[in-house]
Amino acid sequence: MTRVWQWNRPVTVREVLEDLQQERSIAYTTVMTVMDNLHQKGWVRREAEGRAYRYTAVSTRPAYSAALMNEAWATSDNPAAALVAFFGMMSAEQREALRDAVRIVGHDGEVAAPEPREAPQEPVAGEEPVPEEEAKPGEATEEARPEEDSGERGTEPGR
C-alpha cells in the first residue's frame, strides 16, 4: 500500500515491481499476488488496461490509519485505559499533532478550519520583550520536552 499511496495515481504491477527492485530483489509474481490480495481485501480497486491491471488506493493513508485506530479502540474492553496507554506511547510531536487535531475537530465533533499559528514576535529595539505564556503545572514546555523518535509505528498492508 505504501507504494500505491506514494505514486498517488493508478499503478501497474510492473511499476510497483520496478520501484521495489531499487531496494531489493523481488519476483513479479510476488508483487502481483500482493496486489491481488489487496484488491480482494478491498484496499485497492483495479481496472483492466490491455493484459494488465491498474491499481488505485480506495482510501488515503490518513483515512486508513484512522480506520485502524478506530477498529482497535472499538474492540477494547476498556476504551479509556486503551487511550491512556496509547497517549503514553506518543512522542512529543505526536502529542502536539493530537492537540492540533482536537482543536480542529472541536468539542462538538464538527471539523473547523485550523487556526493559523502566530510566529513569535521579535522585540522592538528599546522595548522590553513580552514574556511567553507559562506552562500549566504538569505540562512540559517546548524547551523541556525530550527529543523522541518520531518514526511511524505499527504496520500497514503491503509493507
137: three-class secondary structure by DSSP: coil
Grid coordinates standing for 28?
513479479
* Tens-level pLDDT at each residue, the chain (159 residues): 999 999 889 999 999 999 999 999 999 999 999 999 999 999 999 999 999 999 999 999 999 899 888 888 889 999 899 989 988 999 999 999 999 988 998 766 665 555 555 544 444 455 444 444 444 444 444 443 334 444 444 444 554
- The DSSP string of 100-132 is HHHHHH-TTS---PPPPPPPPPPPPTTSPPPPP
Contact 15, 22 (CB under 8 A): no
E strand or H helix that includes residue 70: helix 61-74
